[in-house]
A and B are shown apart, each in its own frame.
Chain A
Amino acid sequence: MQKRFGWVLSLLALAAISCGAKIDPNQIRIGEFGSLTGAQATFGISTDNGIKLAVDEINAAGGINGKTLKVISYDDEGKPEEAAVVVTKLITQDKAQFILGEVASSLSLAAAPIAQQNKVPLISPSSTNPKVTQVGDYIFRVCFIDPFQGQVMADFAMNNLKAKTAVILRDQKSDYSMGLADFFVKRFKEKGGTILLDQSYVAGDIDFKSQLTSIREQKPDVIFVPGYYTEVGLIAKQARELGIMAPLLGGDGWDSSKLYEIGGAALDGCYFSSHYSPESKDPKVQDFVKRYQAKYGQVPDALATLGYDSVGVLAAALKSAKSLSGADVRDALAATKNYPGVTGNISLDANRDAVKPAVVLKISGNKASYVTTVNP
C-alpha cells in the first residue's frame, strides 16, 4: 500500500514539474519540428543546427527587447502523421508562440493547417512546394518555390547542357517531387524541349532498374530526378550500372552529405539546384560558414543555412512587431523586405513566399561545386 502511494506521489510530482516549469515571461518560446531521424534525417539535423546557432547568437547578443529565445524541438521522424502530432503538442502543451519547421513539403503541409487554426505563425525554412503557404495567412517560408526551381533547372538543362530531350523520374508520394517535376516539364516543353518519358517510384523503393531500363531505351540527354537524397543515391548507382551516362538533374532535395555516401562516384557529372553554395565569395556567407564550422565541425549545407535565416527573419519581425501576439508578428513577418540573409536578400511576396536567387551545383568527387546563380 505504502509503495503504491509513493508511486502516485512521484507521478503527481512529475506532472507538476512538467506543467509548471516551462512558462517564463522573459522567454519567447519557439517550437521546432523536423525529421531528426528517418529517411530525411540530415535535413532535420542540419536545419536544427542552423536554428540553434542563430538562437544562441541572438541570445548572446542580449536577446530581443530583453527577452531570450527558447527553442523547443521535436522529432517527426519524417512522417506526416507524426508532424501533425508534434505540432499540436508544441502549440497546446508547450505553448509555443511561433513555429519553425520542416524541410519536406509533405510534412509542412501536414503541420500548417494546425498552426493556421491556432493562429500561430509558422515559418518553413525550406519547403518549396507552392501549396505550403497557400494553407493560410499565418504560414511563411524563407526559400524560393518550385515553379522557380523547376524553371531554373529546365533552363539550365537547355542553355548550359544543350539538352533537347529529357525523361522524368519522380517520387509519386511526395508533394515536393510531384510539383517540381510538373514545373520542370512545363518549362522544358515551353522552350521547345521534348519529354520522352515520365516515370515514377515511391519513396522507400530500393529497386529502380526496371524504370531505368525503359529510360535507357529512350536515350535522353538528361534525366530529371526531383527526389530526396536516399533514393537519388540509389538511382544514380543503378543508372550507371545499366550503362546510362546521361547526367541526372535534381533539386534541393539532393543537398545532403548522405547523397554521396550512397551514390558515390555514380553521381559525378550530375547537377542540382539549391539555395546557396558555401563556396560563394560573399563575406556574409564566408563569415557564416566559419562560425558554423567552429560550432559543428562541418560545412553548412543549404538546409542549415535556411534554418539559420528562418530564425533571422523571425527575430527581425519580432523586433519590428507592435507586440508579441501572433497577429502582430504575423503582420510584421508579412512586411519582411530585403532582410539580408545568408542565402541572399529575403523579401516576402503577397503569397508569403521568399523571392530570391537559386544556385546550380555540379557534383564531382563526392563534392558539390558552384556553377552559376540564377536570379528570379
Chain B
Amino acid sequence: MEGFLQLLLNGTALGSIYALIALGYTMVYGILRLINFAHGDIVMVGAYAGLFTALAVNGPAHPDLFHFFIVLLAAMAVSALLGLFIERFAYRPLRNFPRLNLLITAVGVSLLLENLGQVVFGATPRVFPDIMPSMNWFQFGQVAITNQQVTVFGTSLFLMVVLEWIVLKTKLGRAMRAVSYSHEIASLVGIPTDKIISFTFAVGSALAAAAGILVCISYPKVDPLMGVMIGLKAFVAAVLGGIGSIRGAVVGGFLMGIAESMVVGYGSSTYRDALAFAILILILLFKPAGLFGKYQPEKV
C-alpha cells in the first residue's frame, strides 16, 4: 500500500510536468492545427535559461522561493521570446501553404534547436544549480513528500488555473477561441489574428519553460537533447486527452505520468517508453479524437 501511494505521488509530480508541456502542444494545435514538434526543445532552452539565471543570481546560496521565482520568470520570458521568434520567422510565412509544409518546418526547427544547443552549450550535460535543496515535508510511514514535489505540483496547478482563466474569462481568451474556430471569420469581426496567434505561442512556450525548470529542480541535469523524449511523451499526453482541448491536456499529462510510474513500479522498466506509445495507439483505435476531443469529420 505504501509503495502504491509513493508511486502515485511520483507519478503525479511527473504527470504535472507532462501536463504543462502538453498544454503548449494543445494550444498551438487548437489555434493553428499545427503540431509544433519544436515544443520539446523549447523546454530545453527554458532549462538552459534557468540554469544561467540561477548562476547569475547565485541561486545555490539563496535557496528561497524568491530566487526560485526569479529563475522561473526569467526562463519563461526567454522561452516566450523564442516562441514568438519561431512563430514569426518559421511558421507565419508558411501559414497559407499546405499544412504538411508547416509540419515539416516544425520538425526542422526542432532539429535546428537541438543541434544549435549542442554547438552553443556543448553536448556535455550540465548540472542544474541546487536552488531548492530537497527536504522531506511530510512523512506518512514510508511515504515521503518532498518540498520539490510540492513545488512542482503547486506551480503546475497554479499555471494551469491561470491559463484556464485567461482562455475562458478574458477578452484575449475569447479572441483566442474565436481564432481557433476560424481565422477568416475572426479577422472579419476585427480580431487581430496575427497578434492572437503570437500570443498563443508566447504563452505555450512560457509554460514549456516553466516545465523545464520544474524538471531541473527534481532532476538536476540539463543537456541539449533533454527535450526530445519529454516532449514526445507530453505530445502523447496531449493526443491522449484530445489534442486541442485544454482540460484534455491536463488529464492526459497526469494519466501519462501515473501510468508510467505504475508500469515501472509493478511491471518492468523495460516497457516504460513502450507504454507511452502503446497508450497512444490504443486511444487512437478506440477514441480517435482522444478523451476530451471532439471528433470532426473532414469537411469536403
Contact = CB atoms under 8 A, between A and B. Distances in A.
Interface of A: 37-39, 41, 77-78, 172, 199-202, 204-207, 209-211, 213-214, 216-217, 230, 234, 237, 241-243, 258, 261-262, 264
Interface string B240-283: 00000000000000000000111111101110110000000000
Contacts of B2: 217
B266 A214 contact: yes
A261 B60 CA distance: 13
Which of A210, A261, A262: most chain B CB closer than 10 A? A210
Contacts of B125: 39, 230
Given A230-B125, A230-B221, A241-B146, A211 B273 contact: no
A42 to B, nearest CB: 8
Interface string B206-247: 000000000100111101011001000000000000000000
Nearest to A240: B134
A264 B133 CA distance: 11
A202 B223 CA distance: 16
B3 interface: yes
A234 B14 contact: no
Given A39-B124, A261-B127, A213 B7 contact: yes
A210 B263 CA distance: 8
A97 B231 CA distance: 44
Which of B6, B136, B261, B269: most chain A CB closer than 10 A? B269
A286 B263 CA distance: 50
Given A200-B269, A213-B7, A216-B142, 13 more contacts: A37-B123, A206-B221, A206-B226, A210-B262, A210-B264, A210-B269, A213-B3, A217-B3, A230-B221, A234-B221, A241-B136, A243-B142, A261-B127
Given A172-B270, A202-B273, A216-B3, A210 B260 contact: yes
B270 A210 contact: no
Contact of A262 (B7, B221, B223, B229): B221
Main secondary structure of the interface of B (DSSP, over half): helix
B255 to A, nearest CB: 15
A149 B300 CA distance: 67
Interface string B141-170: 010101000000000000000000000000
Contacts of A39: 123-125, 223
B122 interface: yes
A207 B124 contact: no
Which of B6, B130, B260, B262: most chain A CB closer than 10 A? B6
B10 interface: yes
A317 to B, nearest CB: 33
A38 B123 CA distance: 5
Contact of B6 (A200, A205, A242, A262): A242
Given A37-B123, A209-B10, A211-B269, A262 B142 contact: no
A207 B134 contact: no
Interface of B: 2-3, 6-7, 10-11, 14, 118, 122-125, 127, 130, 134, 136, 142, 144, 146, 215, 218-221, 223, 225-226, 229, 260-266, 268-270, 272-273
Nearest to B130: A264
A199 B267 CA distance: 10
Contact of B229 (A77, A204, A261): A204
Contact of A242 (B144, B225, B266, B273): B144
B265 to A, nearest CB: 5
Contacts of A230: 125, 221
Contact of A213 (B6, B130, B225): B6
B158 to A, nearest CB: 22
Given A207-B14, A210-B10, A243-B142, A38 B220 contact: no
A213 B266 CA distance: 10
Which of A78, A207, A237: most chain B CB closer than 10 A? A207
Contacts of A209: 6, 10, 261
A217 B142 CA distance: 9
A210 B265 contact: yes
B181 to A, nearest CB: 38
A151 to B, nearest CB: 26
Nearest to B13: A209
A9 B75 CA distance: 47
Nearest to B230: A206
Contacts of B11: 210
A211 B11 CA distance: 12
Contacts of B7: 210, 213
Which of B122, B127, B225: most chain A CB closer than 10 A? B127
A111 to B, nearest CB: 18
Nearest to B8: A213
26 contacts: A37-B118, A37-B122, A37-B123, A78-B123, A172-B270, A201-B269, A206-B219, A206-B226, A207-B10, A207-B14, A210-B7, A210-B11, A210-B260, A210-B262, A210-B263, A211-B264, A213-B10, A216-B3, A217-B2, A230-B125, A230-B221, A243-B136, A243-B142, A261-B127, A262-B127, A264-B130
A206 B134 contact: no
B124 A37 contact: yes
A9 B2 CA distance: 73
Contacts of A214: 3, 264-266
A261 to B, nearest CB: 5
B155 to A, nearest CB: 17
A200 B271 CA distance: 10
Which of B142, B263, B266: most chain A CB closer than 10 A? B142
